Structure 1
Amino acid sequence: MGTYCNEGCLPGWYGNDCASQCICENNSTCDTKDGTCTCKEATCGKYCDSKCECYEEQHFVCEETTGLCRCEGSRFQADSTGYSFDIFLFAVIGIASAAIALFACLVCLAHGLRRHRQGFKTIVDTEFDSYVEELLREHPDLEEWILKRKDIKVQKEIGFGEFGRIELAELQRRDGTVTAALKSLMTKLRHYLPISYRDFCHEIACLKKLQGHPNIIYLLGIVVSGDPKYIIVEYAARGDLLNYVRELRNRGITRPEEERLLGMARDITLALQHMEENKFIHRDIACRNVLIMEDYVAKIGDFGLSRDIYETGQYCKDLWSPIHGPLPLKWTPPEFLQGGVYDTKGDIWSYGVLLWEIATLGETPFTNVPTSEMTTFFLDRQRLYQSERCTNSLYNIMLRCWQLKPIARPNARELTNELEELSRLYERFFNDIVPEQFEIEDW
């Protein structure tokens, strides 16, 4: 289903790669694309979490979205026998009494909701503040990156997720105004997870520690007070790599575009090399998390799932649990699926899947392999297929990244050298380059 033939989501999940969990209540149904709740009878509200209390015998119908009672007709009709005035009088008295009672109820309800929201906001803000305090305690120099909200002028939304959105903005700095991307976290959401606060603060720490590398997105600042909270990074004018390669699918690959893709693949290995040297693992290396700058330089731009392996020694062992949120299983190495073990060689496995995404121009991996059978699939020495447009040179690199034993996989520096060698030897990256796009060279 969908534009790119995504798998259908299981009940209760929705969105891109079915990664978002439905939060509709009272047995209501959830739209598999955007999570919109469709309420059943006698329920209403954005999440179908309120009960409608309309009197059916008086022909009132409950509005699903607002919960208001809408009149569908009147059971009593005035006639010419003298009862019209009495009915009118009773109606006026009844409406006045109902209005007074409704006003009193609304006052009480508003007071109760205000107290409830204040209490909820206090709990949420306190919890988030504790993460921020820990972050600043471990990285005191981050104080310099804290910006004022008045220095940010939001332009438009360019992406969204379950707990926030990505927005384009103008950032006012001492050296002038720069275009930036805002990654927000909304703490006022009704359904929140503490995991989102932890990952938000952890991403700030990752970007700060890896700051300065030309192939890792540059941190410009943070806003941690008020709502929403912001991570402010440089703006990638050409979007993410997944959408970029899918756009190429429609118009065919030319030699200049092939060389750009080869350069972007090499850029990512340089970022991986920098993370290896700093003892970092990312856990979500995929085309969707690679951003492309105006000059076609590729940068890794999402560290929400990354983990510093100094926290637990040489390996990061983290058994899968709903507490940790959705994991990118189709990009995850077999040693994690089997035993929860993940090190830097796990990112190399994911990088092989990223190369496959490039070679297929944005297809989704393992579309015909159930999640429950993926470990068996790998242990049986099965791998993602070689697409028609993928050259043997490129596919051989992928197969080396998909060695079952992590120690047998290349490191990031070796991958960089191999891609540079392909470029130096003028090796083909794709089999179906448009012929008329080749330039005729002199002898």
Structure 2
Amino acid sequence: MVRVLPSLHQSVRQHGHTSKLPGTQLPARMPSMQDLSLVDVLKIGQHGCFYIAKVTRGHCKGYRLVTCKLTMKTMPQKILQSEIKIMKKLGYHRNVVQLLEWNVLEEPYILIMEHVGRHNLKSFLQSNRSQLSGCRELQSKLTSAGYFISLGMEHIASRKIVHRDLAARNILVGRFPQECKIAEFSMAVDISVSGAKKQMRGSRNSCIPFRWYPPEYFTDGIYDLQGDVWAFGILLWELHSLGTSPYPGFETAKEVVINICSGYKMAAPLMCRREMYEVMEFCWTSRSEERPVFSDIARYLEDVVENDADYVKIEDCFEPNVPLGCSPPWSQSIPCQEETYMRDWMVRVNCPRGDAPRVGGSLTSLL
């Protein structure tokens, strides 16, 4: 049962003051659980539970249906303070969940965000697996979903924020594939502030999503912006395997970590298009400085999405009961040459007229 929080005025009457997190400005009116009716569970996370909730009293910046995060009683105030500051800094982006209001008077703390949908990406893929498997446009839809998530991550990285928990379970889904929004910033770090490097170095005793973490974290305890790129590659694998947990062949954390540090890479999911698996492979480059940046990933995926919209296989235009042999000879697919897709794209975009490729975290450094 959810504990009901007092309103701001009740707290003032009882204690003679309002408590708040240091450095966190309170909204004009603090929302309480009395203002909300919890409708359904979206996800249960390491640092809190996400719910769909109705605003039953007052208003929440025009929203009647919202996403509500109730944090665990063990959540340190410092972590919650950081999460609020980071979400406020991110502002609005169509592929990042927007923070509306919050209550930091007492436990359980409440974060109220915009309503997106009734699923996180992992549960959406798993519950709709049979329907998605039969969709003729599945690969295009999965590519589009990856593109929109990359746009959100490009925005987050541009604000000097490292997410550190990028996974399908932390993507909220409305209309698929275009409405995929990145959520859960309880582990995020703002690397533009002083002392951020210490936060980026992991503690051996901290609880981390090890299946999404890069090898440099396990060897050197470092997780920076390029660590999010590695995690994005894992997320793409989750997406194209329709919600399968990463490294399905390994049962224990020790097996996963040893294989990651030894250079093991997961094989392409069944029916995954070659362009997308190449993106995964680039994200999983062992040397972090040689991984692509999110701006390059977003530009490449944008080209793939536009190409899907501009071209169609001729056989897809015929009725299913028409034999494929009745199609004109020019409708037959032509085998693709090797070394195309991402490599050729980067050469065309970044190396016009024989110019030298860009370096410093760009995809071209891998060519």
TM-score normalised over the length of structure 2? 0.71
Please state if 1:398 is matched with 2:284: no
CA shift, 1:143, in A, is 3.3
Please state if 1:209 is matched with 2:96: no
Please state if 1:319 is matched with 2:202: yes
> Which residue of the partner structure matches residue 250 of structure 1?
130
Identify the range of structure 1 (289-298 vs 157-166) with the bigger mean alpha-carbon deviation: 157-166
> Which residue of the partner structure matches residue 231 of structure 1?
111
CA shift, 1:385, in A, is 1.2
User: For each residue in 1:77-136, what CA deviation from the matched residue of structure 2 results, as whole angstroms up to 9, or x when unmatched?
Assistant: xxxxxxxxxxxxxxxxxxxxxxxxxxxxxxxxxxxxxxxxxxxxxxxxx9xx98x43241
Please state if 1:133 is matched with 2:21: yes
Q: For 1:162 and 1:175, locate their aligned partners in 2 and report how far apart those are by CA, in whole Å.
A: 28
> Which residue of the partner structure matches residue 143 of structure 1?
27
| Alignment gaps of 5+ in structure 2 | 1-14, 320-330, 332-367
> Which residue of the partner structure matches residue 298 of structure 2?
416
User: For each residue in 1:220-240, what CA deviation from the matched residue of structure 2 results, as whole angstroms up to 9, or x when unmatched?
Assistant: 211222443210111222411
Please state if 1:269 is matched with 2:150: yes
Q: For 2:136 and 2:23, locate their aligned partners in 1 and report how far apart those are by CA, in whole Å.
A: 46
CA RMSD of aligned residues (A): 3.1
For 1:235, give the aligned amino acid: H
Please state if 1:184 is matched with 2:70: yes
CA shift, 1:250, in A, is 1.7
Residue pairs, 1:26-425, within 5 angstroms: 132-136=20-24, 140=25, 142-144=26-28, 146-161=30-45, 164-171=48-55, 172-173=58-59, 176=62, 178-187=64-73, 193-195=74-76, 197-251=77-131, 252-294=133-175, 296-311=178-193, 312=195, 316-322=199-205, 324=206, 326-369=207-250, 370-425=252-307
Q: For 2:199 and 2:45, locate their aligned partners in 1 and report how far apart those are by CA, in whole Å.
A: 26
User: For each residue in 1:387-416, what CA deviation from the matched residue of structure 2 results, as whole angstroms up to 9, or x when unmatched?
Assistant: 221122111110000001111111001111
Q: For 1:398 and 1:184, locate their aligned partners in 2 and report how far apart those are by CA, in whole Å.
A: 33
Distance verdict in 2 for CA 1:405–1:269, change over 3 Å: same
Q: For 1:160 and 1:302, locate their aligned partners in 2 and report how far apart those are by CA, in whole Å.
A: 11
Greater C-alpha radius of gyration: 1
CA shift, 1:148, in A, is 4.7
Q: For 1:371 and 1:155, locate their aligned partners in 2 and report how far apart those are by CA, in whole Å.
A: 35
Q: For 2:237 and 2:43, locate their aligned partners in 1 and report how far apart those are by CA, in whole Å.
A: 25
Q: For 2:170 and 2:317, locate their aligned partners in 1 and report how far apart those are by CA, in whole Å.
A: 33
Asked if structure 2 preserves the Cα contact closer than 8 Å seen for 1:240 and 1:288, the reply is: yes
CA shift, 1:149, in A, is 4.7
Asked if structure 1 preserves the Cα contact closer than 8 Å seen for 2:118 and 2:173, the reply is: yes
For 1:224, give the aligned amino acid: V
Q: For 1:380 and 1:163, locate their aligned partners in 2 and report how far apart those are by CA, in whole Å.
A: 31
Q: For 1:438 and 1:315, locate their aligned partners in 2 and report how far apart those are by CA, in whole Å.
A: 54
Distance verdict in 2 for CA 1:161–1:272, change over 3 Å: closer
CA shift, 1:371, in A, is 2.5
For 1:412, give the aligned amino acid: F
CA shift, 1:164, in A, is 4.7
Asked if structure 2 preserves the Cα contact closer than 8 Å seen for 1:281 and 1:308, the reply is: yes
Identify the range of structure 1 (199-208 vs 253-262) with the bigger mean alpha-carbon deviation: 253-262
> Which residue of the partner structure matches residue 99 of structure 1?
none
Q: For 1:265 and 1:133, locate their aligned partners in 2 and report how far apart those are by CA, in whole Å.
A: 36
Distance verdict in 2 for CA 1:146–1:440, change over 3 Å: farther
- Residue 308 of structure 2: SS of its match in structure 1? coil
Q: For 1:405 and 1:162, locate their aligned partners in 2 and report how far apart those are by CA, in whole Å.
A: 29
Asked if structure 1 preserves the Cα contact closer than 8 Å seen for 2:37 and 2:53, the reply is: yes
- Residue 349 of structure 1: SS of its match in structure 2? helix
User: For each residue in 1:334-381, what CA deviation from the matched residue of structure 2 results, as whole angstroms up to 9, or x when unmatched?
Assistant: 001111111100000000000111111111112333422445423433
CA shift, 1:290, in A, is 0.5
**Paired residues, number:** 295
Distance verdict in 2 for CA 1:345–1:367, change over 3 Å: same
- Residue 305 of structure 1: SS of its match in structure 2? coil
Q: State the identity as a percent.
A: 25
Q: For 2:198 and 2:318, locate their aligned partners in 1 and report how far apart those are by CA, in whole Å.
A: 52
For 2:37, give the aligned amino acid: K
